[in-house]
Amino acid sequence: MLGIVDRKESNYYVIEMNGITKDVPKNQVASGVREGDVVELKNGIWMKNDAATKQRANSIAKLMKDVWED
């Protein structure tokens, strides 16, 4: 299962999965996970998926470039 970290609150992370957000306790999220990261649930812990995060960042950058091109 994949999700995107929407934000980090004091005791939990808000992770979006299929358009629905879920509050996930901090102890169920790997250290180093940041807003905007694509995360994957592995053995009960949300881990950053580096490849998917990079692909998402590249897609967003391309969209922004297309929007702002002259």
**Tens-digit pLDDT profile for the chain (70 aa)?**
999 999 999 999 999 999 999 999 999 999 999 999 999 999 999 999 999 999 998 888 888 888 877 6
- Is the pTM for the entire model greater than 0.75? yes
Q: Is 20:35 a contact under the CB 8 Å cutoff?
A: no
Write down the number of H helices and E strands in the chain. Answer: 1, 5
The count of other CB atoms within 10 Å of the CB of residue 13 is 23
CATH fold for domain 2-68? SH3 type barrels. (2.30.30)
